Structures are given as C-alpha cells and as structure tokens.
Amino acid sequence: MTLALDDFRLHPAALGPAEQQALVTAVLAAVTEVPLRHSQTPGGRRMSVAMSNLGPLGWVTDGRGYRYQSTDPLTGRPWPPMPPIVAALWPRFTGRADAADACLVNLYRDGAKMGLHQDRDEADLTAPVVSVSLGDTAVFRIGGASRRDPTRTVRLSSGDVCVLDGAARLAFHGVDRVLAGSSRLIPGGGRLNLTLRRAGQAP
Ligand SMILES: O=C(O)CCC(=O)C(=O)O
Ligand SMILES: [Mn+2]
C-alpha cells in the first residue's frame, strides 16, 4: 500500500448508538438556520451531496471556486456554532489542544456520491481532518497524494471516525456510493458525514 495510508487512521465503531443519535439530532437542529443545499461546482455542476456548515468558517463552492467564509452565501447569516458534542470530537480524535474552526455537514441521499479529491482549501495543511460517518454505510475510496496513486476502498459504517493526518492529509479520497437502507439512523434515510477541520489561522 502507498505510504499515505499509514496516516489514515480509521476508528471503527468509535461512536456508540446513543452518541450517534445525539450527534444527528444536534446537527440537524443546528442546520435548520443554514439549510442543507446542493451547491454548484466551479464547473457549474450541481453537487449530488447536500451540504452546509457549522462553526466560524464554512466551506463553500460556486462558480467562483472553492473557499471558506464566515457567512452562508444562501442566507447571508453566520454559520451556526458547532454544538459542543461536535466540537468535542476534535480533541478526542486528534489529541490536539486546539479547536476545529470548520465543520462541513454532508448529507448523501438518492444515489449521492463524491468524486475523488484532496482537501486542500485550508490555510494550514498540516492540521489533520476528522471525518465522522453517521447513517447508511459508505463505500469510501482513498489513494495517495497523487491522483495517479493506487486507491483502495474502505466501508465506513455509522459511528466510524477516520482521521487524515501526516502523509494522508493530502490523500485523494471520495465516496463511490452509499448503501441505501443500511441504517435507520437518519430521519428520511441516507448518510450524514461531518468533516471537522482547521480551515483558517495558518501558522
Ligand atoms: O463523506 C465523506 O466521507 C467524505 C467527505 C469529504 O471528503 C469532504 O467533504 O471533503
Ligand atoms: Mn474530502
């Protein structure tokens, strides 16, 4: 396997059923202020994943490109604060004393998937990325720091947490598909992914 996978840390079943339920409830309540939406890619395609953000900075995509900003372009409002149960995942899974300043919320329904990409819009690319899976199982694909590197797939089930750190921080990754109906956690079905990052404050 490629070197990059050495720093891809998967914690299977890290979150128990009660914690998963509490996270879903808190996140869905918080995003009522800034509704989940199908954003446009810079190339003008509608994303199949519905997304929104929590915390000081939110990742947005539109015809102008990818970026982080402190307000929701749809509503003009600041992104809602991260619920404490979400913010607490950062120190727990990274061991760091700092805090995530961005939590991207992705909802996969109706055949939604995410193409192979790197997370590289953050000011400090040395801080890890923490990704939490809730609801239906995802077929997640991960490779190396070059798009041409070999990839492998990993099934991410509800309650799994993965950390992209070190050499894996810039690993290409994506979601090939979601196994519809594999969980009953999300009201209306589907998969909810929370991606916690340090987006701003480069050293
Ligand atoms: O849904 C996932 O597991 C991955 C999400 C992701 O890679 C992203 O939003 O950048
Ligand atoms: Mn990503």
Ligand 1: list residues with CB < 6 Å.
104, 106, 114, 119, 131, 138, 140, 173, 175, 193, 195
Q: Are 198 and 127 in contact (CB under 8 A)?
A: yes
Task: List, for residues 50-104, the tens digit of each pLDDT value.
Answer: 999 999 999 999 999 999 999 999 999 999 999 999 999 999 999 999 999 999 9
Task: List, for residues 1-37, the tens digit of each pLDDT value.
Answer: 333 467 899 999 999 999 999 999 999 999 999 999 9
* Helix, strand or coil, per DSSP, at residue 194: strand
| Spatial CA neighbour of 3 closest among 184, 178, 168, 188 | 168
CA 123 to chain centroid: 17
What sign does the dihedral 26-172-184-130 (CA atoms) show? Answer: negative
| CB count in 10 Å sphere of residue 97 | 6
pLDDT at 140 over 50: yes
Q: Which atom of ligand 1 is nearest to the CA of 131?
A: 3
- The pLDDT assigned to 4 comes to 41
Task: List, for residues 102-127, the tens digit of each pLDDT value.
Answer: 999 999 999 999 999 999 999 999 99
- The pLDDT assigned to 186 comes to 98
pTM of the model: 0.96
Q: Which atom of ligand 1 is nearest to the CA of 133?
A: 3
CATH 2.60.120.590 matches 3-197: yes
Distance of CA 175 from the midpoint of ligand 2 (Å):
9
